[in-house]
């Protein structure tokens, strides 16, 4: 796997880590519980749990009209987690000439049973995911600023 590809994978991981911290920080701001209690509430939650908590608190305080900035942001958070999970929970196969990289994932779901999933991934695809997560983090930062005293 070439260095550009590995760099893209690393960017996905680093950007997602920042996104998760921003998500927690926004929840702390909205809950107005103080930093320490906010940390206690969010630190053991899964990313999906944090999304659910954000949506519930925001809906309680302000409402979330369909198609609003926050509604779309929540949908993007769900997609970011899906994209990140694709990266993190896959095996990466590289052809002998180091020209083609394939994502390999084994699933065994109730409806489909055992399934081998193969998806070709190139450097641009990985960077697109990293950029999507990075842009979402910036948008979350703007929402944090909007709700800061």
Per-residue pLDDT tens for 98-138? 678 889 999 999 999 999 999 988 889 999 999 999 999 99
* Residue 66 three-state SS: coil
Tens digits of per-residue pLDDT, 14-55?
999 999 999 999 999 999 888 899 999 999 999 999 999 999
Residue 110 is assigned to a structural domain of this protein: no
**CA dihedral over 44, 149, 66, 57, signed as positive or negative:** positive
Whether 2 shows a pLDDT value over 80: the answer reads no
Sheet holding 101-109, edge to edge: 91-94, 101-109, 113-121
Residue 127 is assigned to a structural domain of this protein: yes
Range 72-87 average pLDDT: 96
Residue 18 is assigned to a structural domain of this protein: yes
Residue 36 is assigned to a structural domain of this protein: yes
Residues 147, 31: contact at Cβ < 8 Å? no
pLDDT at residue 22, rounded to an integer: 97
Choice among 7-11, 23-27, 94-98, 142-146 with the minimum mean pLDDT: 94-98
CA 103 to chain centre: 18
Query: What band does 76 get if pLDDT is binned at 50, 70 and 90?
Result: very high
Residue 130 is assigned to a structural domain of this protein: yes
pLDDT at residue 5, rounded to an integer: 85
Residue 47 is assigned to a structural domain of this protein: yes
Domain encompassing residue 43: 14-78+123-146
Instruction: Estimate the crossing angle of helix 3-31 against helix 47-61, to 10 degrees.
Output: 40
Residue 104 is assigned to a structural domain of this protein: no
Q: What domain count does the chain have?
A: 1
d(CA 30, CA 106): 39
Residues 30, 57: contact at Cβ < 8 Å? yes
Report pTM.
0.89
pLDDT at residue 15, rounded to an integer: 97
């Amino acid at each position: 796997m070439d260095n550009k590809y590995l760099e893209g994978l690393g960017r996905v991981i680093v950007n997602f880590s920042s996104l998760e911290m921003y998500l927690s920080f926004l929840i702390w701001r909205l809950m107005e519980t103080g930093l320490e209690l906010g940390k206690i509430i969010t630190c053991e939650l899964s990313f999906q749990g944090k999304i659910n908590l954000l949506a519930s608190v925001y809906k309680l305080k302000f409402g979330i009209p369909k198609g609003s900035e926050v509604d779309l942001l929540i949908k993007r958070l769900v997609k970011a987690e899906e994209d990140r999970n694709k990266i993190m929970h896959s095996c990466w196969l590289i052809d002998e000439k180091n020209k083609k990289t394939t994502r390999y994932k084994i699933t065994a779901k109730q409806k489909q049973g055992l399934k081998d999933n193969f998806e070709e991934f190139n450097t641009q695809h990985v960077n697109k995911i990293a950029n999507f997560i990075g842009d979402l983090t910036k948008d979350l930062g703007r929402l944090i600023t909007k709700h800061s005293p």
